[in-house]
C-alpha cells in the first residue's frame, strides 16, 4: 500500500531542498532529514524514501525496503506534523536487521525530530 498522493515528496528539487537545508537525525539503520516549510496555510507532511544501490544491487530488495517503510508510516500519518518535508534514507546493514528493529528506530527518529505528535 503506497502513501496517499498529498503525502508524497515527488520532485527531485524537493528532495534536493531537504538534503541541503533540512536537519538530519541519524540512527543505526536509518537517516531522517526534515525541512520545515514556512507556509501560512497548513499542508500535509510530505515524505520521500531513498534507498541507494549501496544497500543492494537488486531492485527487488530496495523496493521491498521502501514498501516496509511506507507500511510503517501509513498508520502514523494522521499523527504527524504539518508543513514538513521528510526524506528517509537507509544505511547499509539494514538487510541484516529484523523489520521490527528499524520500524522502532523510525518511530524514535520521528519523535526526536518532533514530527510525531503522538508522543
pLDDT digits (tens, 9 = 90+) for 38-81: 876 788 889 999 999 999 999 999 999 899 888 888 888 888 88
What 3-state DSSP class applies to 6? helix
In the chain the domains, ranked by start, together with CATH numbers, are 5-112 (3.30.230.10)
Spatial neighbors of 77 by CB under 8 A, at least 6 apart, are 3, 4, 7, 44, 45
Residue 25, pLDDT above cutoff 80: yes
What 3-state DSSP class applies to 47? strand
The pTM for the full model equals 0.88
Cell of 114: 518532533
The whole-angstrom separation of Cα 91 and Cα 43 is: 29
Please report the pLDDT score of residue 41 as a whole number.
77
Residue 103, pLDDT above cutoff 90: no
Amino acid at each position: 500500500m503506497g502513501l496517499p498522493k498529498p503525502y508524497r515528496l515527488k520532485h527531485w528539487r524537493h528532495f534536493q531542498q531537504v538534503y541541503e537545508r533540512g536537519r538530519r537525525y541519524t540512527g543505526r539503520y536509518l537517516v531522517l532529514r526534515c525541512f520545515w516549510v514556512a507556509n501560512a496555510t497548513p499542508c500535509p507532511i510530505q515524505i520521500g524514501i531513498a534507498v541507494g544501490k549501496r544497500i543492494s544491487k537488486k531492485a527487488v530488495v530496495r523496493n521491498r525496503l521502501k514498501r516496509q517503510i511506507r507500511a510503517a508510516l501509513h498508520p502514523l500519518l494522521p499523527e504527524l506534523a504539518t508543513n514538513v518535508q521528510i526524506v528517509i534514507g537507509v544505511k547499509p546493514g539494514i538487510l541484516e536487521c529484523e523489520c521490527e528493529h528499524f520500524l522502532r528506530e523510525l518511530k524514535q527518529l520521528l519523535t526526536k525530530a518532533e514530527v510525531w505528535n503522538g508522543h
